[in-house]
Structure 1
């Protein structure tokens, strides 16, 4: 018994030994914050500030959250004052928060350059490390013309390729507004160069998940042993965000997805009644709450 205790002590406390890695984060998407009244097609824009406040309060009650990420369309129209309002609410989050650009966040007037200056960054795509994970925030927006299509430019894809290569010893999770594996087909929302993007991640075995929004729908698909996770809008039914825990286990990399709707039930019910194809947006039970193990 004494020798067993010595072995356990050695394994757990000597330098060079690391426990199984785990990370927990929250993904919110398509907040569409606005100060203008009027709802549209189930989008509860008039109540967008209330919905965001509720989400922030719920997140601040959660334990051991490493960070929060907003995957685009943080504001409903590109505007500096609206972005400042969004930041003032997001800054109430206790965990650090990150962001990716969506098509509602920028346009030709309030373009990417102006947006990222307000965020005190130099690029619209970037990465950060947490435990044994690299998290990559991508930008597929087109700010020169009004469009809901996404496109990832060659320079950015080259950067992604290098970023994945230099972090090949880490699990890679990618955040972006636009899914490259659609939750459902849309002739107006797809990524123009999705094939070129997929070619990049197909070259790297460390990619484990691509997490997006844009379609306001809950879906979890798997392609080439990579999870493609679509998260619905906070402002439209099912008015929810995701809590994701990823942990190393002997069986593989374990993903636990928890679906967290707003507590503002009246607003959520109104949105459901006004949303066409509500079931399409909410997905199946396994698109909302599930556990998946990837073997890498």
Structure 2
């Protein structure tokens, strides 16, 4: 069995500052870390899929390292559109998985799963894009690990959400990624963040899932002229689980949406 926990869009701020001057994103992330530490069985790995900070400032990354210190699980972070590559790299210089130059792609073994994190950020902008070099890196990794199940992680999801103010800052060049993934049968799923909501789609035949934020959730407004808005809905994370004990003797995979917080229960029925 392999289990990867995914949290996203944590928007850490300097000490004493609030996200959008309203929400204590640092306290909410601390609660997420405490929740991850209580998981039983413990995940093999934790992935934080971008927007680690709100403004990409060195003092925000210092705060992030402080908030991550209690996490008892192995983890990796990847950049989002609110992050700064150089400052992120400097803050995590002691982590061997992080590239020392260029785009922040990396591959990590998490149990039986090969996790491939692909940097989709465009410095100075909020939309996502994959350079030819990024796609070449991904192709090499998929060929090298052709006998492994692979989960690809992006910050920007490779699909249109239908929420107009989100799609202004979506991924611009999805087709090359779709064509590449179609050539490799070992891609099990693609996960992303960015949209502060749980969404499910497909890229060709591959499932794509997005992870909610540990802070605010973006409003589901589908009207073409909708104004941007968010809600203080329950924060959540994703738990991706692979098992070889399916009823039919085949391996199985499932992704769970897990809310963060205190709720009534457990109740004596299911």
Give distance in 2, aligned partners of 1:189 and 1:26. Answer: 25
Aligned residues: 234
TM-superposition CA deviations, 1:79-112 (whole Å, max 9, x none): 1111011012113111101111101112xxxxx2
Structure 2 SS opposite 1:256:
strand
Alignment check: 8 A CA contact 1:168 1:206 kept: yes
Does 2:67 match 1:89? Answer: yes
1:85-234 maps to which residues of 2 (within 5 A)? 85-106=63-84, 112-120=85-93, 121=98, 122-123=100-101, 124-143=104-123, 145=124, 147-185=125-163, 186-234=166-214
Q: CA RMSD in A?
A: 2.0
Q: Name which of 23, 29, 32 aligns with 2:11.
A: 32
Q: 1:246 maps to what in 2?
A: 242
CA displacement at 1:242 relative to structure 2:
1.4
CA distance in structure 2 between the aligned counterparts of 1:128 and 1:38, rounded to whole angstroms: 33
Distance in 1 between residues matched to 2:67 and 2:113, nearest whole Å? 27
Structure 1: distance between partners of 2:215 and 2:122: 23
**How big is the shift at 1:74?**
0.8
Deviates more, 1:247-256 or 1:173-182: 247-256
Residue 275 of structure 1 aligns with which residue? none
Structure with higher Rg: it is 1
Maintained 8 Å contact 1:34/1:45: no
Q: 2:28 aligns with which of 45, 51, 54?
A: 51
Question: Contact between 1:231 and 1:241, CA under 8 Å: does it hold in 2?
Answer: yes
Change (3 A) 1:39 1:69: closer
Q: Residues 45 and 235 of structure 1: is their aligned pair in 2 closer, same or farther, counting only changes over 3 Å?
A: farther
Question: Cα gap change, 1:251/1:179 in structure 2, threshold over 3 Å: closer, same or farther?
Answer: farther
Residues 102, 264 of structure 1: alpha-carbon distance in 2 compared, 3 angstrom cutoff: farther
Higher helix share: 1
Give TM-score, length-normalised by structure 2.
Answer: 0.80
Unaligned runs of 5+ in 1: 1-21, 107-111, 266-296
| Per-residue Cα deviation, 1:40-91 (whole angstroms, up to 9, x for no partner) | 4xxx853111101111111111123101110000111111111011012113
Q: Aligned partners of 1:260, 1:30: CA distance in 2, in Å?
A: 15
Checking the alignment, whether the CA contact within 8 Å between 1:54 and 1:264 is kept in structure 2 is no
SS of alignment partner, residue 43 of structure 2: coil
Distance of aligned partners of 1:238 and 1:60 in 2 relative to their CA distance in 1, 3 Å threshold: same
Check if 1:258 corresponds to 2:256. Answer: yes
SS in structure 1 of the partner of residue 127 of structure 2: coil
Verify the 8 A CA contact 1:75 1:104 in the aligned structure 2: yes
After superposition, the C-alpha distances for 1:250-275 in whole angstroms (9 at most, x for unaligned) are 4644223332222168xxxxxxxxxx
Aligned to 1:17: none
Question: Structure 1 residue 172: deviation in Å?
Answer: 0.6
Say whether 1:68 aligns with 2:46. yes
Determine helix, strand or coil for the equivalent of 1:60.
helix
Provide the TM-score with structure 1 as the length reference. Answer: 0.73
